[in-house]
């Protein structure tokens, strides 16, 4: 099994990803570290608590960064995920308590406890990971890999023409995280926007797993309305589950190796500018550490994997 920490801002696709991780016997979820993003930090942490209670598991949930590294408080994505971040379905209030450690502290503690074993799966803004790097500069040596949902290498962004939401929400943190020397696998809009899910898919999740799949089906209604605006079909996207699926089956994805820079100036804020190996001689890129970017995904097999894991 793989030890993971899931860094998240639930969030509807985060919800689908959290349940996927908890259902997969191949993954040992050490804890959920939460961060502002889709919703403010406190709500993100509270939602994560509600979700693990629903799944009836007892793992730490930590409160994380409330603000980006630089600049003002973020604007939140209530129009995508609902006023409560979970599709306005009146989900139950959590009964449990947050872990006393901050998200960044928890990441550092687990990395020291299990050196070389922990994969960070980051599906929100990268603020907590950047804070953890500040707390423990040796962190890249202690962490096995960092699997990120974020960015857009060869496709347009979803917040600006060039930026994806997780990277845009804390571009300075992203610059720090992509600049550190640890193995990074990036799953951006290149693959997550390539695979739309119809309501038939969430029905199948609900059939396989009435409780958790049923919750995803309920909570996805609001989200699907948002994504279907102006389209002929009813669809939504489960971005955040992609980096987890990779851990179960790497052959689902085509990974392209290269170097990446994150934009931080106003025009390019959050842009992930990717140079595949051999495509540039510019030191602006070559000085950055190498990473792998997902550039294609096997639709039928990934869809089937989601359904299978919900059924376990």
Active-site amino acid positions: 9, 239
239 near ligand BDR (CB under 6 A): yes
| Measured distance CA(275)–CA(280) in Å, rounded | 7
Decide: is 124 part of the binding site for Ca ion (CB under 5 A): yes
Of ligand BDR, Ca ion, none, which one sits near residue 130, judging by CB under 5 to 8 A according to partner kind? none
Residue 170 binding ligand BDR, by CB under 6 A? no
Per rule CB under 6 A, is residue 149 in the interface with ligand BDR?
yes
Task: Report 218-247 residues binding Ca ion (CB under 5 A).
Answer: 240
Residue 302 CB, shortest distance to Ca ion, in Å, is 18
Shortest separation between residue 38's beta carbon and Ca ion, angstroms: 6
Stretch that binds ligand BDR, among 161-169, 206-214, 254-262, 291-299 (CB under 6 A): 161-169
In the region spanning residues 6 to 35, those forming contacts with ligand BDR, defined by CB under 6 A, are 11, 13-14
**Rounded to the nearest whole angstrom, what is the least distance from the CB of residue 138 to ligand BDR in the complex?**
28
Out of 16, 39, 65, 123, the residue judged to bind ligand BDR by CB under 6 A: 123
Binding Ca ion by CB under 5 A: which of 4, 6, 12, 14? 14
Q: How far is the CB of 94 from ligand BDR (least distance, A)?
A: 20
Asked if 170 interacts with Ca ion (CB under 5 A), we say no
């Amino acid at each position: 099994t793989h030890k993971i920490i899931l860094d998240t801002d639930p969030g509807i696709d985060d919800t689908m990803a959290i349940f996927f991780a908890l259902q997969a016997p191949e993954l040992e979820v050490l804890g959920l570290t939460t961060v502002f993003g889709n919703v403010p930090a406190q709500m993100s942490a509270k939602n994560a608590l509600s979700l693990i209670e629903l799944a009836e598991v007892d793992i730490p949930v930590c409160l994380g960064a409330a603000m980006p590294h630089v600049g003002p408080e973020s604007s939140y994505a209530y129009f995508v995920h609902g006023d409560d971040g979970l599709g306005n379905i009146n989900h139950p209030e959590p009964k449990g308590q947050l872990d006393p450690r901050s998200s960044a502290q928890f990441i550092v503690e687990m990395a020291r406890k299990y050196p070389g074993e922990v994969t960070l799966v980051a599906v929100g803004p990268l603020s907590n990971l950047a804070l953890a790097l500040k707390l423990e500069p040796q962190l890249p040596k202690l962490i096995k890999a960092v699997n990120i949902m974020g960015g857009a290498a060869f496709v347009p962004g979803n917040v600006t023409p060039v930026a994806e939401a997780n990277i845009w929400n804390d571009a300075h943190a992203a610059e720090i995280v992509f600049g550190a020397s640890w193995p990074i696998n990036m799953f951006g809009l290149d693959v997550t926007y390539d695979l739309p899910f119809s309501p038939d898919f969430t029905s199948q999740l609900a059939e396989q797993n009435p409780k958790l799949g049923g919750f995803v089906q309920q909570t996805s209604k609001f989200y699907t309305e948002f994504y279907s605006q102006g389209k002929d079909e009813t669809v939504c996207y489960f971005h955040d589950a992609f980096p987890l699926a990779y851990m179960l089956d790497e052959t689902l994805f085509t990974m392209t190796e290269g170097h990446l820079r994150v934009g931080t100036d106003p025009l390019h804020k959050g842009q992930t500018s990717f140079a595949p190996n051999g495509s540039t001689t510019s030191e602006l890129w070559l000085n950055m550490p190498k990473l792998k970017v997902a550039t294609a995904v096997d639709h039928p097999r990934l869809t089937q994997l989601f359904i299978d894991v919900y059924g376990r």
